[in-house]
């Protein structure tokens, strides 16, 4: 009985530690940033007429290295933002706030993961490592430490760090001067604006209490809704720069863009703005997942055309 009790306690502690760790690295955000790295890698192989079989080691180094760098950046964000995380409902249970993981340990974890990630990426290409560094520096220094609490421009700055991720994957195979990774960068950058604004509308009061300079906090909902419409409209022409992915991709992506644009306009006519913002957020998440899935499907050998 005593052994069983001790085992239960150990398992319970292990589960709590894993739960705290996944919260610390912002599991959902981590996955959503690593996935574009994979997409960039996948498309680079497709457009260079190559296969995973020839680049297994590079793939492993790229994915693990980029995951470490992104996780390190997210952990450092948690470490730096502990004071405002205490004031927000959705962040007040993070281990940095509750104290279950000491701040000096969090700082060390963020630095170690970052360094390890860069070392692994250096075994791929210098260009991929440079893109990873630009993303890390933009998120940790320019976004977290400089602009987040001061300027509504913080959303634009933060979006750069997220949009650069597919360039990491692509550059591990070939230089990212191709039209496809450039359009991917623009697509993810523009997508993040209405996505983040939708979150900011839903959590406006929390951001206000924490002193975070989000657009709806500083300039109000009407300005935010106008910017959402503008940014979603900017997505409309992008699929046509990806003609090499085929007609099916262009048609489906355009239909998604039009539907999202109509939904963004609905924000000016609804009285339940919080519900609308929630729907916008859910649509934005599914939008990007559908696009990535489409990119993979249309480039499978059985569907893609010889280049």
d(Cα 134, Cα 195) in Å, to the nearest integer? 22
d(Cα 294, Cα 159) in Å, to the nearest integer? 22
Residue 17: pLDDT band with limits 50, 70, 90:
low
Given a contact cutoff of 8 angstroms between Cβ atoms, the answer to whether 119 and 62 are in contact is no
Q: What is the pLDDT of residues 56-92, one digit of tens each?
A: 999 999 999 999 999 999 999 999 999 998 888 878 8
d(Cα 24, Cα 81) in Å, to the nearest integer? 12
Question: What Cα–Cα distance (Å) separates residue 29 from each residue in 18, 67, 155, 213?
Answer: 16, 11, 15, 21
Q: What predicted TM-score, i.e. pTM, was given to this entire model?
A: 0.91
Burial grade of 3 (CB within 10 A; 0-12, 13-18, 19 or more): exposed
* pLDDT score of 267: 94
Q: What is the pLDDT of residues 138-153, one digit of tens each?
A: 999 999 999 999 999 9
* pLDDT score of 1: 53
* Domains in the chain, CATH or no CATH each: 25-298 (1.10.600)
Using a pLDDT cut of 90, give the percent of the chain over it: 78
Given a contact cutoff of 8 angstroms between Cβ atoms, the answer to whether 40 and 75 are in contact is no
Q: What are phi and psi of 271, to 5 degrees?
A: -95, -20
Average pLDDT, the chain: 91
Question: What Cα–Cα distance (Å) separates residue 282 from each residue in 145, 199, 200, 225, 285?
Answer: 28, 10, 14, 16, 5
Burial grade of 262 (CB within 10 A; 0-12, 13-18, 19 or more): exposed
Burial grade of 45 (CB within 10 A; 0-12, 13-18, 19 or more): buried
* pLDDT score of 301: 72
Would you say residue 264 has pLDDT above 80? Answer: yes
d(Cα 43, Cα 225) in Å, to the nearest integer? 34
Burial grade of 56 (CB within 10 A; 0-12, 13-18, 19 or more): exposed
Residue 96: pLDDT band with limits 50, 70, 90:
confident
Would you say residue 106 has pLDDT above 90? Answer: yes
Q: Which two tokens stand for residue 182?
A: 């450039």
* pLDDT score of 10: 40
């Amino acid at each position: 009985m005593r052994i069983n009790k001790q085992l239960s306690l150990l398992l319970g502690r292990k589960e709590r530690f894993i739960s705290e760790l996944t919260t610390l690295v912002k599991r959902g955000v981590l996955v959503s940033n690593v996935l574009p790295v994979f997409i960039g890698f996948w498309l680079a192989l497709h457009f260079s007429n190559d296969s995973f079989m020839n680049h297994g080691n590079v793939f492993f180094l790229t994915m693990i290295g980029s995951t470490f760098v992104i996780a390190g950046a997210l952990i450092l964000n948690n470490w730096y933002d502990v004071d405002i995380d205490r004031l927000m409902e959705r962040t007040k249970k993070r281990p940095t706030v509750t104290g279950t993981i000491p701040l000096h340990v969090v700082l060390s974890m963020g630095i170690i993961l970052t360094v390890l990630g860069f070392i692994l990426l250096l075994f791929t290409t210098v260009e991929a490592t440079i893109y990873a560094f630009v993303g890390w520096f933009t998120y940790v220094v320019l976004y977290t430490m400089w602009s987040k609490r001061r300027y509504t421009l913080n959303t634009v700055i933060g979006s750069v760090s997220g949009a650069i991720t597919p360039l990491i994957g692509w550059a591990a195979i070939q230089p990212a001067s191709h039209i496809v990774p450039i359009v991917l960068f623009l697509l993810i950058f523009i997508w993040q604006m209405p996505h983040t604004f939708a979150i900011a509308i839903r959590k406006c009061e929390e951001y206000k209490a924490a002193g975070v300079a989000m657009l709806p906090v500083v300039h109000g909902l009407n300005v935010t809704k106008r910017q959402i419409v503008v940014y979603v409209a900017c997505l409309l022409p992008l699929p046509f720069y990806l003609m090499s992915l085929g007609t099916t991709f262009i048609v489906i992506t355009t239909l998604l863009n039009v539907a999202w644009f109509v939904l963004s306009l609905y924000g000016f006519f609804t009285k339940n703005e919080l519900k609308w913002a929630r729907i916008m957020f859910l649509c934005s998440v599914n939008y990007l997942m559908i696009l990535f899935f489409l990119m993979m499907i249309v480039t499978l050998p059985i569907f893609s055309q010889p280049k």
